[in-house]
Amino acid sequence: MIEKFKKLVLEGKCITFDQAVQLSETTDKDKLYQASGEITRHFGSRFFDTCSIINARSGSCPENCKWCAQSAHHNTKIETYPLLDIQTCLRQAIHNENIGIKRFSLVTSGRKVSGRTLNEICNIYRVIGKQTKLSLCASLGLLNKEELQKLYDSGVTRYHCNLETAASYFPTLCTTHSQEEKIETIRAARATGMEICSGGIIGMGETMIQRIELAFSLRELNVTSIPINVLQPISGTPLENMPPLSEEDVLTTIAVFRFIHPMAKLRFAGGRGIMSKSLQEKALKIGINSAITGDMLTTISSKVEEDKKLFQHAGYILTDEI
């Protein structure tokens, strides 16, 4: 069964939802991981794609997402602050470029940015674009097409908006906005000419079938950069006592995502800092071929130099060596 589905993918065909479920339920995990690794190497580049983010506005978010430390609905005691000044953002961008990272994103808390704040952010991007060669990304909430056009005109080429989880599970985790609103933002960003980065968080109580549902939603939206976050329970949030996923659970999810998205950048994202090194190495061999490195908003992240060694050990060439 695994060989049959692998052959389909290598021939450029798409597996079905039921076939993905069969893959997730296989007991021969080693064969599944080997097959997903072959798919990754067949369609992917040897060059490892890196990006970095800065938490440009922190906390006091009116949304009630159960996983998030920045929600004002939860008592997480994180640092809160308004939009960072232009010099702080520029300094961080230049630092990231100097250590070989190719993409850089501002991320803000809140439902969205708008008005004067959006104009300030667009100015920050224009300055960064003039003073660095970084590719610019943004994660600024549920923007409309006009707002996204302003970002695009200021130099942003990729917009990030996670679906977070399956449509069937999302309402149990957040009620202040819908997944459909996220999809509207994604479609509007693509209409401006931006690339899309969208993924989710696993380990929030969803089933494996719901993870597959998320993967197929992303496929319908033709997303080619997919951050895979593993929940890092944060004290004060409703998910603070969620049990950790097993290594097999994490690896099976990555492998099945690779079968569904053979050519996508599957991106290490939040939660990686608490993974064992061996788990990270296995994930890199079976499907992960990109990563957010450096700070991860409000959670622990890995050191950039340690990351570089990890990616190279997995057989990748870093993009700063091109």
Nearest alpha-carbon partner for 270 in 177, 162, 192: 162
Helix residue spans in the chain (DSSP H):
2-10, 17-25, 29-43, 86-98, 115-131, 145-153, 170-173, 179-192, 208-220, 247-260, 277-286, 304-313
3-state DSSP call for residue 107? strand
What average pLDDT values come out for the chain (322 residues) when binned by 10 residues? 97 98 98 98 91 91 93 88 94 89 94 96 98 97 98 98 98 97 98 97 98 98 96 94 96 98 95 88 96 60 77 81 38
Q: Is residue 150 part of a domain?
A: yes
DSSP label at 276?
-
Q: Give residue 319's pLDDT.
A: 58
DSSP symbol at 175: S
Supply the pLDDT for residue 77: 83
What single-letter DSSP state applies at residue 38?
Answer: H
Instruction: Yes or no: say if 153 and 189 are a contact pair by the CB < 8 Å rule.
Output: no
**Count of the separate structural domains present in the chain:** 1
Of the candidates 217, 71, 202, 63, the one whose C-alpha atom is nearest the C-alpha of residue 142 is 63
CATH number for the domain harbouring residue 224 = 3.20.20.70
Among residues 203, 239, 292, 302, the alpha carbon closest in space to that of 68 is found at 239
Q: What is the pTM of this model?
A: 0.94
Domain encompassing residue 32: 16-314
Q: Establish if 6 belongs to a structural domain.
A: no
1 is a domain residue: no
Residue 5, domain member (yes or no): no
**Token pair 């104009």: residue:** 119
Element (H, E) at 151: helix 145-153
Domain presence at residue 108: yes
- Residue 4 within a domain: no
Residue 88 lies in a domain: yes
Q: Is residue 11 part of a domain?
A: no
Residue 70 and residue 61 in contact, taking contact as beta carbons nearer than 8 Å: yes
**Range 308-319 burial, b when 16+ CB lie within 10 A, else e:** bebbeebebebb
